[in-house]
């Protein structure tokens, strides 16, 4: 088995490798934190994303929210979708507004 400890889940790795494992974990966490706090905010300054972020902020939409049911724009869009589904014909064409 070339010096590996056998455990029920498979080989545990060479003994004395825990320092490298912890170091790798710490480096990975620091990289993720750096990306979250430095990299993602920097994306806001890109020409295509900057205006979109401004619109989202000005609209009062909380981009980190899990549920958008309390956002006014979503409520309005939901009404449009419901009405479109209610008044759509089976062949995919919308009914005329008024027949007189």
Domain ranges of the chain: 1-43
C-alpha dist (Å) from residue 59 to 5, 53, 67, 73: 58, 10, 16, 8
How does residue 1 score in pLDDT terms, banded at 50, 70 and 90? very low
SS3 label, residue 12: coil
SS3 label, residue 11: strand
pLDDT digits (tens, 9 = 90+) for 29-84: 999 999 999 988 888 888 888 888 888 888 777 776 656 666 677 777 888 888 88
- The per-residue DSSP string of 25-88 comes to HHHHHHHHHHIIIIIHHHHTTSTTHHHHHHHHHHTT--TT-S--TT-HHHHHHHHHHHHHHHHB
pTM of the full structure: 0.43
pLDDT digits (tens, 9 = 90+) for 67-77: 666 667 777 78
């Amino acid at each position: 088995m070339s010096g590996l400890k056998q455990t029920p889940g498979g080989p545990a790795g060479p003994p004395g490798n825990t320092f490298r494992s912890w170091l790798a974990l710490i480096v990975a966490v620091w990289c993720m934190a750096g990306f979250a706090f430095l990299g993602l905010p920097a994306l806001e300054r890109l020409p295509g994303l900057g205006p979109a972020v401004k619109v989202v902020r000005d609209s009062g939409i909380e981009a980190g929210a899990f549920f958008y049911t309390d956002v006014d724009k979503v409520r309005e869009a939901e009404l449009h979708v419901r009405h479109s589904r209610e008044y759509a014909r089976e062949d995919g064409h919308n009914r005329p507004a008024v027949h007189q």
